[in-house]
């Protein structure tokens, strides 16, 4: 993105480092670029870096469309869109290298006109507040007059006379009186002509004041008419920017295009800012504005005909041919996760001491999926850990730590901080409980039993599902919460948020509820229920049932089915103890260093099979846990046990032998053990 000939340079026309000129890739018809990706993918960080890189070189503004703060006690003349336009104008106006400041006379007049629609003779204070609030925008036209307050008094005096003579629609008369006074008191002779631009507005007939009157009346009417008025105000901003680029300025020529950075543009305000620009360009009206926006929703309906590429594909060229639909003027650029090498580089920068385990960065990459926010936060937590404790760190241990995000604030816990950033919900309990579910059926069961105060009929499960989809989190095939990092953080909260160590009552209640549900299904003859029951038994720390089942069914003909059940049961979340620094208990069990009490009635051969399956189960449980790190001794033991079991099976020795070859290879490649063993996609 920031390469000398990268996408930013080609769109803006300037290199980021020395601001040397770069040929424009799209000539006079640049696309609106929308960076897509879920929470924590670095969209906001990218826009902030663009702002920091090009600030002072070209007119530039950054607004968060999801966080436009309304002024106190504002009237109906203020909307999110008018507030955003005013903020954009103020940020775009300062002078930059080689050029004077940008002025916004057209936008100022439009904002003044719509601000006046609610003023009354009895509430002069509101009119005064609204007028003073417009001071920063009017200061872009004339800083000395716009910042003064004498023009406000004159506007109020003229409005008083207007109220007395009001016979026509009041909104239009107020707008006319306000605009006339502003033109006389703030605008110079050159800028007074800017009102003529509104002559092209609906029913204006080429008369600027009539257009501004109609604009105010349409804004006051609301609905579709207000939308038309707001679209015209967006056009006023673009027109003012265009005028700043016409001909020579007193200081020289402008070198880079103006830049609008719109964060969270998937919300309604983002569309209201972007669509008028797209519509004008589609109709052939060209402008020089570079619009770079972000969207958390990849398949947003506002980008239905966008040209879609991934960020690395834009390194040298980013073609975007305009089609029949206005949204074809959008180039949707999907931000890609960090690679394993980039994650390692981030850890090396944050902690150059190299005292952390060699596989820690790779383990964090597996846990986070390369999501930049997760990598950064966990890397920082590792760097802040005391040097003597770093060699024992695991991804799970990093979640238990605190991290100092700001020097002037206390350290914050890693897992809750990361979860709040990825899932900013006022009530996390429903998401936390339902993270243990596998599908909508089990989620509705948990909603009825564990969230009954909030959802007596189980609809909470569907509401949570819809919330996750609205945030563009992926659906899961084996889990109700599909994203591994989000699920891990929610399960961490389920385990530790209630502070109920060592009982962990919330964790135990949720998994026991699902355990009873699948046990009942098993009793009713549902063949698939038993692996689910044993999965939750394992999550409760009880492995005996799973070992007995896998040992008892080992000699079945369906060996691939047996391996699949083993893999599914062993995918259970491990009931960790926070802050545990000793060796993982599963390691000793996998290596056979701890011999448990055996069931009664086993002969020598059955005993050997039982112990082998127990070692294998604990090996798979440890090696596939995203909160743990791989262990070469356990990996070798996994291969050994599978080879031994291959020799024990009368008919299915080939799949077991293949698993002994491919599963260790999958684990060393940080992949899920493949089924059938050796299948490249690991499914």
Let me know: does 166 contact 158? Beta carbons within 8 Å.
no
Share of the chain above pLDDT 70, in %: 95
* Residue from 54, 109, 106 nearest 254 by CA: 54
Give percent of the chain above pLDDT 90. Answer: 67
Residue pLDDT, tens place only, 373-389: 999 999 999 999 999 99
Q: What is the DSSP letter of 650?
A: S
Task: Output the pLDDT for position 641.
Answer: 97
- In the block, which residue shows the tokens 């260093």? 593
Nearest to 49 by CA among 23, 16, 71, 81: 16
CB atoms within 10 A of CB 623: 24
Q: Which two tokens stand for residue 239?
A: 């027109």
Tokens at 271, concatenated: 């569309």
The pair of structure tokens assigned to 156 is: 């109020």
The model's confidence at residue 406, banded by pLDDT at 50, 70 and 90, is confident
Is residue 294 very low, low, confident or very high in pLDDT (cuts 50, 70, 90)? very high
How many residues are listed for the chain in this entry? 683
Q: What is the mean pLDDT of residues 33-44?
A: 95
Written as six digits, the tokens of 376 are 């950064």
Mean pLDDT score of the chain, rounded to an integer?
90
- Shortest CA distance to 23 belongs to which of 309, 316, 334? 316
Q: What is the pLDDT of residues 79-110, one digit of tens each?
A: 999 999 999 999 999 999 888 899 999 999 99
Residue 168, pLDDT score: 43
What tens digit of pLDDT does each residue of 161-180 get? 776 655 444 666 777 888 88
CA distance 478 to 493: 20
Strands 412-413 and 402-403: antiparallel
pLDDT of residue 385: 94
Q: What is the pLDDT of residue 199?
A: 93
Residues 307-328, mean pLDDT to the nearest whole number? 92
- Are β-strands 290-295 and 259-263 bridged in parallel, bridged antiparallel, or unpaired? parallel
Q: In whole angstroms, what is the distance from residue 530 CA to residue 656 CA?
A: 22
Indicate the DSSP class of residue 21.
Answer: B
Place of tokens 């002024």: 71
Under a CB-based contact definition with an 8 Å cutoff, are residues 154 and 181 in contact? yes
Return the number of other C-beta atoms located less than 10 Å from residue 179's C-beta.
26
CB 495 within 8 A of CB 576: yes
At 123 the pLDDT is 66
Q: Could you tell me if 335 and 37 are in contact, meaning their C-beta atoms sit under 8 angstroms apart? A: yes
Alpha carbons 380 and 346: distance in angstroms, whole number:
9
SS3 (DSSP) at 74: coil
CA distances to 262, 443, 450, 484 from 479, in Å: 34, 10, 18, 9
Rounded to 10 deg, the angle between the 105-115 and 80-92 helix axes is 150
Question: How far is the CA of 248 from the CAs of 194, 243, 252, in angstroms?
Answer: 19, 11, 6
- CA gap 60, 89 in Å, rounded: 9
Confidence check: pLDDT of 67 > 50: yes
Give DSSP secondary structure letters for 138-151: HTTT-HHHHS-SHH
185 to each of 152, 155, 159, how far by Cα in Å?
A: 9, 9, 14
CA distance 329 to 281: 8
For the stretch 534-564, pLDDT in tens is 999 999 999 999 999 999 999 887 999 999 9
Q: Kindly tell me if the per-residue pLDDT of 611 is higher than 60.
A: yes
Which residues is 34 bridged to in the sheet? 293, 332
Within 13 Å and on the Cβ side, how many CA atoms surround 7?
Answer: 25
Pairing of strands 290-295, 32-36: parallel
Reply yes or no on whether the pLDDT at 579 is more than 80.
Answer: no
What tokens does 464 get?
């949570």
pLDDT for residue 492: 97
Which residues partner with 657 through β-bridges?
Answer: none
**What integer is the mean pLDDT of 560-572?**
96
More confident residue, 113 or 292: 292
Model confidence pLDDT, tens digit, residues 460-510? 999 999 999 988 898 888 899 999 999 999 999 999 998 888 889 999 999
Cα separation, 241 vs 258, in Å, equals 7
Q: Name the residue with tokens 């966008």.
A: 306
Q: Is the pLDDT of residue 683 over 50?
A: no
DSSP state of 75: -
Average confidence (pLDDT) over 423-450: 94
> What does 431-497 look like in DSSP terms, one character per residue?
HHHHTT-SSHHHHHHHHHHHSTTT-TTSHHHHHHHHHHHHTTPPP-SS-SS--HHHHHHHHHHHHHT
Calpha distance 73→123 (Å, rounded): 12
Cα dist. 9→4, 25, 101, 241, 340 in Å?
A: 6, 9, 22, 19, 27
Q: What digits encode the pLDDT tens for the residues 181-237?
A: 888 877 877 677 888 999 999 998 999 989 998 999 999 999 999 999 999 999 999
Q: Give the pLDDT of residue 83.
A: 95
* Cβ atoms 273, 294 nearer than 8 A: no
Q: Report how far residue 292's alpha carbon sits from residue 283's, in angstroms, rounded to the nearest whole number.
A: 21
- DSSP notation for 343-407: HHHHHHHH-TT--S-TTHHHHHHHHHTT-HHHHHHHHHHHHHS-GGGGGG--HHHHHTSEE---T
Q: What is the mean pLDDT of residues 636-660?
A: 92
Cis peptide bond upstream of 502, omega within 30? yes
pTM: 0.89
Do β-strands 307-310 and 259-263 pair in parallel, antiparallel, or remain unpaired?
unpaired
As a whole number of angstroms, the distance between CA 347 and CA 470 comes to 32
> Looking at residue 247, what is its pLDDT?
64
The answer to whether residue 356 scores a pLDDT higher than 90 is yes
pLDDT for 457 equals 53
Give the per-residue pLDDT at 455.
Answer: 56
Q: Which of the four pLDDT bands, split at 50, 70 and 90, describes residue 264? A: very high
Gap between the Cα atoms of 210 and 294, Å rounded: 37
Confidence category of residue 566, pLDDT binned at 50, 70, 90:
very high
Termini Cα distance of the chain: 34
Average pLDDT over residues 649-654: 81
- For the segment 288-299, the average pLDDT, to the nearest whole number, is 93
């Amino acid at each position: 993105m920031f390469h000398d000939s990268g996408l930013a340079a080609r769109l803006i026309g300037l290199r980021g480092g020395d601001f040397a000129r770069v040929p424009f890739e799209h000539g006079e018809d640049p696309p609106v670029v929308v960076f897509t990706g879920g929470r924590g993918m670095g969209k906001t960080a990218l826009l902030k870096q663009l702002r920091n890189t090009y600030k002072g070189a070209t007119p530039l503004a950054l607004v968060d469309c999801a966080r436009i703060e309304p002024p106190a006690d504002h009237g109906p003349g203020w909307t999110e869109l008018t507030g955003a336009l005013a903020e954009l104008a103020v940020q775009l106006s300062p002078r930059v290298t080689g050029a004077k400041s940008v002025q916004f006379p057209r936008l100022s007049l439009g904002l003044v006109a719509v601000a006046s629609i609610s003023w009354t003779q009895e509430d002069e204070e509101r009119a005064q507040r609204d007028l003073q609030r417009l001071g920063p925008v009017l200061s872009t036209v004339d800083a000395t007059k716009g910042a003064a307050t004498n023009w406000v008094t004159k506007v109020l005096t003229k409005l008083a006379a207007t109220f007395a003579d009001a016979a026509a629609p009041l909104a239009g008369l107020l707008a006319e009186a306000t605009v006339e006074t502003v033109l006389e008191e703030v605008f110079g002779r050159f800028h007074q002509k800017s009102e003529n631009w509104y002559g092209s507005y609906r029913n204006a007939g080429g008369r600027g004041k009539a257009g501004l009157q109609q604009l105010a009346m349409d804004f006051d009417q609301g609905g579709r008419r207000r939308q038309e008025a707001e679209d015209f105000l967006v056009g006023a901003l673009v027109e003012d920017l265009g005028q700043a680029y016409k001909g020579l300025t007193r200081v020289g020529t402008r070198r880079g295009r103006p830049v609008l950075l719109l964060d969270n543009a998937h919300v309604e305000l983002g569309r209201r800012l972007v669509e008028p620009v797209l519509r004008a360009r589609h109709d052939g009206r060209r402008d020089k504005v570079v619009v770079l926006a972000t969207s958390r929703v990849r398949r947003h309906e506002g980008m239905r005909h966008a040209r879609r590429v991934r960020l690395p594909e834009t390194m040298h060229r980013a073609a975007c041919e305009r089609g029949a639909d206005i949204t074809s003027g959008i180039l949707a650029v999907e931000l890609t996760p960090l690679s394993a090498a980039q994650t390692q580089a981030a850890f090396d920068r944050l902690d150059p001491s190299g005292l952390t385990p060699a596989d820690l960065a790779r383990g964090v990459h597996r846990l986070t999926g390369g999501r930049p926010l997760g990598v950064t936060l966990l890397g920082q937590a590792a760097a802040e850990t005391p040097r003597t404790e770093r060699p024992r760190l695991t991804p799970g241990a990093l979640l238990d730590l605190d991290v100092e995000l700001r020097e002037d604030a206390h350290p914050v816990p890693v897992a809750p901080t990361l979860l709040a950033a990825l899932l900013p919900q006022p009530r996390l309990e429903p998401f936390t409980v339902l993270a243990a579910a596998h599908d909508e059926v089990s989620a509705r069961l948990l909603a009825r039993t564990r969230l009954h105060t909030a959802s007596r009929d189980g609809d909470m499960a569907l509401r949570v599902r819809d919330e996750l989809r609205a945030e563009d989190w992926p659906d899961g095939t084996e889990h109700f919460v599909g994203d591994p990092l989000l699920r891990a953080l929610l399960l961490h909260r389920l385990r530790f948020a209630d502070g109920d160590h060592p009982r962990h009552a919330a964790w135990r209640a949720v998994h026991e509820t699902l355990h009873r549900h699948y046990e009942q299904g098993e009793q009713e003859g549902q063949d698939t229920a038993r692996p689910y029951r044993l999965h939750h038994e394992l999550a409760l720390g009880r492995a005996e049932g799973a070992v007995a089942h896998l040992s008892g069914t080992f000699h079945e003909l369906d060996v691939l089915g047996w391996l699949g059940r083993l893999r599914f049961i062993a995918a259970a979340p491990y009931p960790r103890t926070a802050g545990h620094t000793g060796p993982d208990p599963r390691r000793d069990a996998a290596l056979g260093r701890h011999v448990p009490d055996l069931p009664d009635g086993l002969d020598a051969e059955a005993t050997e099979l039982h112990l082998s399956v127990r070692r294998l189960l604990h090996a798979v449980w440890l090696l596939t846990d995203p909160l743990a790190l791989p262990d070469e001794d356990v990996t070798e033991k996994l291969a050994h046990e599978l080879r031994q079991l291959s020799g024990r099976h009368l008919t299915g020795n080939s799949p077991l032998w293949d698993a002994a070859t491919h599963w260790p290879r999958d684990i060393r490649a940080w992949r899920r053990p493949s089924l059938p063993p050796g299948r490249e996609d690991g499914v």
